[in-house]
A and B are shown apart, each in its own frame.
Chain A
Amino acid sequence: MKRRLLGMCLLVSAAVGLAAGPAVAADKPISGNLRIVIGSSATSGDTYQNAAIIADELSKKLDINAKVDAVGVSAAFQALSRAKDGSTVMFFHDQSYLGHLLGLKGYDDLFATYKVGPTISINPGDAFVGVKDSKYKTIEDVIEGANKGERIRVAIQPGGVSEVYYGALKNAVKVRYPGKEANIVSVKTGSQGDKNQLLFDRQAEVIHGSVQANEQYTRLPGDDQKAMRFLWLPARKATIAQANPEGMGGTSREELLKFTSPNASVTLDGKRDFTFDKEFFFIYNKDMDPKIVAYLDKALSEIFAEGKVQVTMKKAFFIPNFQPSKEAEGYLKKKAAQSQKLIEATH
C-alpha cells in the first residue's frame, strides 16, 4: 500500500512538473542560464565592466543566472553562431562591425550575419593624450604641426575604435591640408600601459588613452616625466554632458567638455566635426526567436525605466544609452556607414 501511495505521489509530481514546465517556458522565452560572451578576453576592460553591470540587472529582473564570459572575439562569434535558442548572447562594442570594415580576420559582416540587439551604454572616456611639456598643446597644434611637415606619431591599438579615431585625425589633416596627412603616422601597440610607456619614452607624440586611465597624469606638474595633457575627446559633446558634474577624478565635466567638438575640432568634411561614441550593445544569433528579442528588449526597458542602473553606470564614468533592438540596428548601421567612408578615405 505504501509503495502504491509513493508511486502515485511520484506520478502526480511528475505530471505536475511536466505540465508546469511548458507553462514556465511559454511564459518566459528564456529561463535558467544566460551566457553573455564578450568580444574581449580581458576581464579588466570597459566591455567586461558594462557587460557585468547589465548581466547583474538582467539576473535580478528575469530571475535567471546571467554570466559574463570574456572569451574574445572569435570564440564569442563562434559561440553565438551555435546558439539559436537564446541561451548565449554576445555583448560588445563598435569594433564588432569595424573589424569587418577594416578587413580583419574573424569578423563577418555584423548586420548580415547576426541580429543587432539593444544598445546599452557608451564609454565617453576615449581621449587623445600628449605629453605636458610637448609643443602640441591642443589637437589644433597637432593638425598644424602636420601641416608644417612635422612627423607626428600616434600610438593606437590597431583594428578597432582606436584606428577609426586615428583615421579621423588623418582625414582632418587631409581635408584641411591635402597631401600633408602622411605626416600623421600610427604606432601600433597594445595595452594602456604600453601606450603610456611610449609617451614616457618620447616614442610617440600622441596616444589613444582615456579619461579614466590618464586623468591623474594630466594633473602632474609639467616637469614630471609622466605628466600628460588631454588633446581631444572624440565623444559627442551631448554625451559627455550627461556625465556626473564632478567628471572624473580632479577634472570636472565642464573641463572635459573643452576637449570635445566644437572646442576641439577634428573636421570630417570641412563642414562638420567628426565625433564618435564608443557604444556597447547586444548581438544575437540571426535565427534567434523574435520573442526572445522582444522579451529582452522589454526587460531592459524596465531596468532602465527604474533608473538604478544609470547610477551604477555613471559612477563608473559610463553613459547609459538604451535603445531597443530595432532602433539600435538603424542607428548602428548609420554609424558603420560613416566609419566606412572614413576608412576608405584614409586607407
Chain B
Amino acid sequence: MDFLAAITPLELMLVVSGVMIGIVFGAIPGMTATMAVAVCLPMTYGLSLNNSLALLLGLYVGGISGGLVPAILINIPGTPSSITTTFDGYPMAQKGEAERALKIGIVSSLIGGLFSAVVLFLFAPALADLAIKFSYVEKFLIILFALTIIASLSKNLLNGAISGVLGIWLSLVGTYDLNTGGNGDIRLVPGFLEDILINGFSLLPVLIGLFGLTVILEEAAKGVPPEPLSHFKLGDGKPFRFSVFRGHFGTLFRSSAIGTFIGLLPGIGGSAASVLAYAQQKNLSKHPERLGTGEPEGVMASESSNNGLTGGALIPLVSLGIPGDSTTAVMIGAFTLQGLQLGPLFIGEHLDSWHEIMTNLVLANIVMFLVMFFAIRHIVKVIQVPKHLLYPLIVVMCAVGSYSANSGIMFDVWTFLLFGVFGYFGHKVGLESAPFIIGFILGKDAEVYFVKSIESYGNLAIFFTKSPIAMGLWVLIALSLGYAFYQAWRNHRRECGA
C-alpha cells in the first residue's frame, strides 16, 4: 500500500480532473484523447513531473473511455477506437438497454485498463523486445489481418468488400506523406483540387460525417417526428447486473490482451485494436449471428480492447522511447520538457517516475470507473431528448468537432458534410459504413508498411518468408477469412431454407 500513501491530494485532484476532462473530450465526436492531452500539455510546464503524469494519464484514460458514451447513445463513435462499440451498443440502447450497455462498456473498460496496467508493470521490457521483432512486414500482415473483419462484418459479402476497398482507396487520396517516408507526391487528386486535397481526407471528420450526419439525413428524409431516439423508457430494458459477465471472462481476457498487444506495436493505430478484438469475438462467439444486433459481448470485446491499449501503448514508450499510439506520442513532449529521457534504460534509471506512472495509471482507471459508472444514469437521459431537438445539436457538435480535429481547418468541416451526404446516397446503393470506415482507417498504414516492406526487402516473397511470426499471421488471416466465408455460406443456406 506504499504507493497509495505516495499519492498527494494535488495528484489525486489532477487525476480526477484529467479523467473528467478526458471523458468530455472522448464523448464529443471529433475530439479525442490525443487532443485532450495536447490541449492540456502546456498546463504541465508549471507542474512537477509526478503531477504532470497524474494529469496526462488521467486525460489519456478518460479520453479513451469517454468515446463509448456517444457510440452507445447516438451511434457516433466519440473516438475512432470506439467504432466497434456502436455495432452492439447502439442496438442495445434502441432496445431500452442504454444504461446497461454503458455500464457493461465501463466495467469492460476498467478491466481492459487494469489488465494492461498489470502487463505493463510486469512485462514491459520483455514485451518491448518482442515488439521490435515486428518489422514493416509483420505490421503490414497485422493490418491485413484486421482488414479481414470486413468479410465477417459485411451484410452482403460483395457490397462489404467493395465498400472496404473504396474506404482504402479514399484514405490514400492526397500527399504520400514525407513524414511516413513517402515521396511527397499528390495522388488520386485532379489538378484543380490539389490545393484543397493536398492532405487528403482526415479520419475524424469522415468518421463523424459517415456515422453521424448520414443517420441524421436519413431520419430527416423520413420527417423527424418529435419523438426520442429510443421508443423505450429508461429502465424498460434489462437492468445491468454484474452477472452479465459470467461466461465472458474469456472474451474480456482475450480482448484486453489484443488491445495491449496492438498498443505495444508502434505505428499500428488504436482503432485496429478494437477492430481485431471484435473480429475475434465474432469468429469465436457461440452466437456470431447475434453480434451486431445488441449483444453485450460485442460491447465487452470492443471496450476492453480499446482500454487495454492504454497500458500497451505505454510499453514501447517507457521501454524504447517510442510511442505506441498518437496519445502517448504527445506525452513524450511532457517528458522532454521535464528534462526526462525515455528509452530502454528509463525504468532502471527512473524507478520513482516508473512507479508514479503505474500508480497514476491504475488510479486513473479506478477514477474513470467511479466517475462514469455513477454519472451514467444522468448522461443516459440524452436518449429521451426528442430527435428534432437532439439532431440539430449533434450536427453543430459534429461540425465543431470536425473543425477542431486538426486544430482549426475549415476543409475538415466540408469533409464532414461531404461524407455525411456520401453515406446517405451510398447506403441507397448498398454501401456498408462499417467495412468502408475500417478500410479507410487501416488503408494508409497498410500502404506505408506494404511499400516500405518492398523497398527494404525488394521482393513480394518476403511477406511469406520473413519470419515465423509472418507465417503465423498468414495462418490467422486464412482462418479468419475461411471462417467468414463459411458463416456467409451458412447464412445463405439458412435463408434459402427458410
Q: Do A216 and B455 touch (CB < 8 A)?
A: no
Indicate if A134 sits at the interface (CB-CB under 8 A): no
Indicate if A20 sits at the interface (CB-CB under 8 A): no
User: Within 8 Å CB of A342, what residues of B?
Assistant: none
> Which of A71, A104, A194, A315 lies in contact with B178, CB distance below 8 A?
A104
Give the docked Cα–Cα distance between A37 and B452 (Å). Answer: 31
Give the docked Cα–Cα distance between A70 and B199 (Å). Answer: 14
User: Within 8 Å CB of B323, what residues of A?
Assistant: 44, 193
Indicate if A84 sits at the interface (CB-CB under 8 A): no
Give A178-217 as 1s and 0s: 1 = Cβ < 8 Å from B's Cβ atoms.
0000000001111111101110110100000000111111
User: Within 8 Å CB of B186, what residues of A?
Assistant: 105
User: Within 8 Å CB of A48, what residues of B?
Assistant: 333
Q: How far is the CB of A215 from chain B (nearest CB, A)?
A: 6
- Interface-located stretch among B232-240, B339-347, B379-387: B339-347
Give the docked Cα–Cα distance between A198 and B136 (Å). Answer: 9
Q: How far is the CB of B52 from chain A (nearest CB, A)?
A: 13
Q: Do B135 and A215 touch (CB < 8 A)?
A: no
User: Within 8 Å CB of B333, what residues of A?
Assistant: 43-45, 48-49, 52
Which residues 168-204 in B have Cβ within 8 Å of A in the complex? 175, 177-186, 194, 198-199
Q: Do B132 and A44 touch (CB < 8 A)?
A: no
Q: Nearest CB to that of B266 among chain A residues?
A: A193
Give the docked Cα–Cα distance between A188 and B185 (Å). Answer: 14
Q: How far is the CB of B120 from chain A (nearest CB, A)?
A: 18
Q: Nearest CB to that of A102 among chain B residues?
A: B184
Q: How far is the CB of A72 from chain B (nearest CB, A)?
A: 7
Indicate if B320 sits at the interface (CB-CB under 8 A): yes
Q: Given contacts A213-B321, A226-B344, is CB(A315)–CB(B339) below 8 Å?
A: yes
Indicate if A252 sits at the interface (CB-CB under 8 A): no
Q: Do A197 and B184 touch (CB < 8 A)?
A: no
User: Within 8 Å CB of A216, what residues of B?
Assistant: 321, 341-346
Give B365-398 as 1s and 0s: 1 = Cβ < 8 Å from A's Cβ atoms.
0000000000000000000000000000000000
Q: Do A193 and B267 touch (CB < 8 A)?
A: yes
Q: How far is the CB of A70 from chain B (nearest CB, A)?
A: 6
User: Within 8 Å CB of A160, what residues of B?
Assistant: 178
Q: Do A158 and B329 touch (CB < 8 A)?
A: no
Q: Do A196 and B135 touch (CB < 8 A)?
A: no
Q: Do B181 and A217 touch (CB < 8 A)?
A: no
Q: Given contacts A43-B329, A220-B344, A249-B341, is CB(A189)–CB(B181) below 8 Å?
A: yes
Q: Nearest CB to that of A196 among chain B residues?
A: B322
Q: Do B343 and A44 touch (CB < 8 A)?
A: no
Q: How far is the CB of B134 from chain A (nearest CB, A)?
A: 8
Give B317-356 as 1s and 0s: 1 = Cβ < 8 Å from A's Cβ atoms.
0001111000001111100111101111110010000000
User: Within 8 Å CB of B267, what residues of A?
Assistant: 191, 193-194
Q: Do A226 and B341 touch (CB < 8 A)?
A: no
Give the docked Cα–Cα distance between A177 and B337 (Å). Answer: 43
Q: Given contacts A70-B38, A105-B186, is CB(A316)–CB(B132) below 8 Å?
A: no
Give the docked Cα–Cα distance between A44 and B448 (Å). Answer: 21
Q: Nearest CB to that of B343 among chain A residues?
A: A216
Q: How many A-B residue pairs have CB under 8 A?
A: 162
Q: Do B406 and A106 touch (CB < 8 A)?
A: no
Q: Do A55 and B199 touch (CB < 8 A)?
A: no
Indicate if A56 sits at the interface (CB-CB under 8 A): yes
Which residues 234-281 in A have Cβ within 8 Å of B in the complex? 248-250
Q: Given contacts A157-B178, A157-B179, A315-B337, is CB(A190)–CB(B409) below 8 Å?
A: no
Q: Nearest CB to that of A43 among chain B residues?
A: B38
Q: Do A159 and B184 touch (CB < 8 A)?
A: yes
Indicate if B486 sits at the interface (CB-CB under 8 A): no
> Which of B343, B349, B407, B456 lies in contact with A203, CB distance below 8 A?
B456
Give the docked Cα–Cα distance between A111 and B181 (Å). Answer: 27
Q: Given contacts A52-B41, A216-B343, A248-B341, is CB(A187)–CB(B321) below 8 Å?
A: no
Indicate if B42 sits at the interface (CB-CB under 8 A): yes
Indicate if A75 sits at the interface (CB-CB under 8 A): yes
Q: Nearest CB to that of B449 among chain A residues?
A: A194
Give A43-77 as 1s and 0s: 1 = Cβ < 8 Å from B's Cβ atoms.
11100110011011000000000001111101100
Give the docked Cα–Cα distance between A94 and B33 (Å). Answer: 31
Give the docked Cα–Cα distance between A139 and B144 (Å). Answer: 39
Give the docked Cα–Cα distance between A41 and B177 (Å). Answer: 11
Q: Given contacts A43-B41, A197-B132, is CB(A316)–CB(B339) below 8 Å?
A: yes
**Smallest CB-CB A-B distances: 3 pairs:** A216-B343, A69-B407, A193-B322
> Measuring CB to CB, which residues of chain A are less than 8 angstroms from any residue of chain B?
35, 37, 41-45, 48-49, 52-53, 55-56, 68-72, 74-75, 79, 104-106, 157-160, 187-194, 196-198, 200-201, 203, 212-217, 219-220, 224-226, 248-250, 312, 315-317
Known contacts A194-B136, A216-B321, A317-B336, then 4 further A-B pairs from the complex at CB < 8 Å, ordered by chain A residue: A43-B38, A43-B41, A44-B329, A317-B339
> Measuring CB to CB, which residues of chain B are less than 8 angstroms from any residue of chain A?
34, 37-38, 41-42, 45, 129, 132, 135-136, 175, 177-186, 194, 198-199, 266-267, 316, 320-323, 329-333, 336-339, 341-346, 349, 406-409, 448, 452, 455-457
